[in-house]
Amino acid sequence: MAWDYIIVGAGSAGCVLAHRLSAKPGNRVLVLEGGGNDTSPLVRIPAGEIKAILNPRFNWMYMSEADPSLNGRDAMWPGGKVLGGSSSINGMIYLRGQHEDYDDWARTIGNTGAWSYRDVLPYFKRMETNPLGPSEYHGDSGPLVVSDVPTPHPLARVFYEGAKEIGIPFNPDVNGERQEGVGPNQGTIRFGRRNSAARAFLRPVMDRPNLSVETEAKVDKVVFEEGRARTVVYSRGGERREATADGEIILSAGAIASPTILLRSGIGPGADLSQFGIPVVAESPGVGNNLQEHPAAWVAGYVDVSTYNTEVTPSGWVRHGLNWLLRGKGPAASPIAQAVAFVRTRPEEEERPDIQIHFIPTGYDFGPNGIKLLDRPAITLPVNVCRPKSRSRLTLRSADPNDAPRIFSNLLGDEDDVRRMVDGCKISRAIFESNAFKPHYQGLFMPAPDKRSDADLEAYVRAYTLPAYHPVGTCKMGIDDMAVVDPELRVRGVQGLRVIDASIMPIVPSSNTNAPSIMVGEKGSDLVLGR
């Protein structure tokens, strides 16, 4: 049969599209997801996040090339390989970004396409049910139920007080009127279970007779007839298959996979395609470029209060497991970070926050052999640059769909980003060394306590910075020559094909990207339906 809509990818945006487009019974909708089902306890239990994201069963685990800005280190760039996509393996942190982020998007596309903050706010409200209740900034009847941290760690309040002590104002709602300040995180968690895009948007409607979802369906390319996207070629169970669309094909495979599919389909820089023998369908030099990611450096300190890393014991598993199972509370029911601070590193120069600091009541060692839990109580205050200037890119490794793309990471390629990382590490240290923390703080673990100079901290961030798992921008929307999609998310140069996911973001939002990706799915569904 021919479908009205074929959605490639059941991730944060793709699940929203499936929900909205199939709401009209006359629309025949097919969803093709390269990963499997989301029923594993590692996906469903919030505390399983680290194990899920490090498991190739749930994560495509793309690896970058050696990054010269990180002393030649490579790094893993994740992509959800499961229903719900990355929303099924992320830290479940619910943050929208700053109002100005979306106003900047609008300016980059000439204020066309209605992408300013006031334009996208109704979609943020439409998608959520928020415990803060209905207001100018929040909704209370959307499919995505978010929650407050059910059982905050005792040191979360100390984090607030330490931040306030050094001049960071308290902000009870960092998704509301403004983002600046220190305050609690909310999580995409419902009744103590991960509430991914699949659980919120897709699974409640999977019994619709006009909606079909195929898992473990790995898409190769889109085939065109007279310039119009017509067929999706994919494999499932070792068998080559094709699906045909009478209406539109929508790529929602994420910032790594969506541009890779475009390139294999003949849309991209012609010189890159020719070396792999791929005929050029549409010359589009921006495909795979403009790759943006928040660099993250981990500042960790020892404390005298039990933290979650020291409670991974048989008795701890029983106690916290029962609390989660019976009450939906405790560490097992919390997002990875329970609080957050958005800070201007140089208030006299900055108009809005330029770094983000999370409060994580767990101590990690990020060594050469990967991530492991510390064996004594510790908390982590990781630093992200909100709007990095560094840009990376990706391209094909070959025309074979089984070959992962080449990611040319340049995570700290701009000196301005390095400066902000260094200043952010100083701020995290200042919070640790505040009077509020003094009764509990027992010294820094990362970076080493004697590393205080700018030169020492620059060496530290280049040695330990990692991607924050927020890639965007590789199919950016716009009106310039490097734009891959127009403001209505239609792929330029062809017909019947859109990209609707984080890859269309021209500038990375100033915080975690899951909520903005879901918003893109909401607005994208209206664009497809002509609303």
Where in the chain are the domains?
2-529
Q: Residue 6: beta bridge partners?
A: 30, 249
- For residues 109 and 505, is the Cβ–Cβ distance under 8 A? no
pLDDT at 231: 98
276 has pLDDT over 90: yes
- What average pLDDT does the segment 317-336 reach? 83
pLDDT at 368: 64
- What average pLDDT does the segment 370-386 reach? 92
Res. 314 pLDDT band, cuts 50 70 90: confident
pLDDT at 360: 96
Cβ neighbours for 455, distance < 8 A, ≥ 6 positions apart: none
At 340, is the secondary structure helix, strand, or coil? strand
- What average pLDDT does the segment 2-21 reach? 98
430 has pLDDT over 90: yes
Could you read off the pLDDT of 141-190 as tens digits, one per residue? 999 999 999 899 999 999 999 999 999 999 999 999 999 999 999 999 99
239 has pLDDT over 70: yes
Fold adopted by 2-529: FAD/NAD(P)-binding domain (3.50.50)
What DSSP state is assigned to residue 392?
B
Is the alpha carbon torsion for 150, 154, 156, 158 positive or negative? positive
Cβ neighbours for 531, distance < 8 A, ≥ 6 positions apart: none
At 467, is the secondary structure helix, strand, or coil? strand
What DSSP state is assigned to residue 47?
G
- Angle at the Cα of 218 from the Cα atoms of 213 and 219, rounded to 5 degrees: 95
369 has pLDDT over 80: no
pLDDT at 365: 85
Whole-angstrom distance, CA of residue 276 vs CA of residue 406 = 13
As a whole-number percent, the residues of the chain with pLDDT over 90 amount to 89
User: HSE-up of 459 (CA within 13 Å, CB side)?
Assistant: 9
Could you read off the pLDDT of 194-233 as tens digits, one per residue? 999 999 999 999 999 999 999 999 999 999 999 999 999 9
Annotated catalytic sites, by residue? 470
Could you read off the pLDDT of 456-513 as tens digits, one per residue? 999 999 999 999 999 999 999 999 999 999 999 999 999 999 999 999 999 999 999 9
- For residues 76 and 1, is the Cβ–Cβ distance under 8 A? no
Whole-angstrom distance, CA of residue 32 vs CA of residue 44 = 21
- What average pLDDT does the segment 310-339 reach? 83
137 has pLDDT over 80: yes
- For residues 267 and 281, is the Cβ–Cβ distance under 8 A? yes
Residues in the chain, overall count: 531
Of the candidates 493, 498, 20, the residue with the CA atom closest to the CA atom of residue 261 = 498
pLDDT at 315: 77
111 has pLDDT over 80: no
Predicted TM-score (pTM) of this structure = 0.96
Whole-angstrom distance, CA of residue 72 vs CA of residue 82 = 31
The DSSP line for 152-197 is: --HHHHHHHHHHHHTTPPB-S-TTSS---EEEE-EESEETTEE--H
R_g of the chain computed on alpha carbons: 22
Helices (H), 242-358: 254-264, 270-274, 314-327
Could you read off the pLDDT of 19-69 as tens digits, one per residue? 999 999 999 999 999 999 999 999 999 988 889 999 999 999 999 999 999
pLDDT at 332: 84
pLDDT at 486: 96
